Amino acid sequence: MRPPLDSPESSETAATIADLPCLDTRTDPATAASDQICRDFRDALGSFATGVTVLTTLTSDGRPIGVTISSFNSVSLQPPLILWSLACDSPRLEAFRNASHYAVNVLAADQEWVSDSFANREDNRFSGVRVSKGLADVPLIKGCVAWFECSNEARYPGGDHLIFLGRVQRFARGEVTEPLIFHAGRYRRLRGDSGQ
């Protein structure tokens, strides 16, 4: 099982918080302490449960691309805005930076394999994934809990990531209601109503 791409332990993001100040710990006690702080910070971040999404768009030559992301949040209802982030060293960054539109596909509990497909380094991430065309022909992954089709409103630097602000042009909820959850380095499922 692979973590979402924006997770510090992701193989896609070579320069994350887990890597930057955490160098060779075999020779320098101060570096070893810094490495421990990085691991502790990563573990603390993992305490926050998130949904799992796949962001999709088209490259300038019309190829569909996508990445697994857990850093998706609502920003505003009026106007409808969302945000997400992608590592600055991601090979897909320029395509998303330059895209006029992209889609947030909120994965369902039975779509772990979709998350894994879009979190790996393979080129053909869409293999076996059923899609339909959304706004600007951006692929929408079928079977999701929800979709948010966005215009690429703004981008902001955020350390080793680029923060994307999207204006929601269209959205929909799927027939499936249970989302895929990521917590403490593992996929999770909701256990139902708490009874309160």
| Domain regions of the chain by residue span | 50-184
Give residue 136's pLDDT band: very low, low, confident or very high (50, 70, 90): very high
The amino acid at 80: P
> Is residue 91 within 8 Å of 15, Cβ to Cβ?
no
- Residues 84-116 pLDDT 10s: 999 999 999 999 999 999 999 999 999 999 999
Comparing CA positions, the residue from 146, 142, 116 lying closest to residue 130 is 142
pTM of the model: 0.80
Averaged pLDDT for residues 128-135 = 96
Winning range, highest mean pLDDT, from 5-14, 44-53, 137-146: 137-146
Chain-centre distance for alpha carbon 142: 17
Express each pLDDT in 137-194 by its tens digit.
Answer: 999 999 999 999 999 999 999 998 999 999 999 999 999 889 999 988 889 888 765 4
Q: Residue 14 above 70 pLDDT?
A: no
**pLDDT at residue 24, as a whole number:** 40
**pLDDT attached to residue 28:** 66
Residue 27 pLDDT grade (very low, low, confident, very high; cuts 50, 70, 90): low
Nearest to 95 by CA among 58, 126, 136, 68: 58
Strand runs labelled E in 70-160:
73-76, 81-87, 101-106, 131-133, 139-141, 146-158
- pLDDT > 90 fraction of the chain, expressed in percent and rounded: 61
Region 9-23 average pLDDT = 36
Of the CA atoms within 13 Å of residue 192, those in its CB half-sphere come to 1
Mean pLDDT of the chain: 84
151 has which bridge partners? 101, 167
pLDDT(132) > 70: yes
pLDDT value at 60 more than 90:
yes
CA distance 156 to 149: 20
Both tokens assigned to 195: 């009874």
Confidence grade of residue 70 (pLDDT, cut at 50, 70, 90): confident
Segment (H or E) for 114: helix 112-119
| Tokens 């982030």 belong to residue | 85
- Give the pLDDT score at 36: 81
CATH of domain 50-184: 2.30.110.10
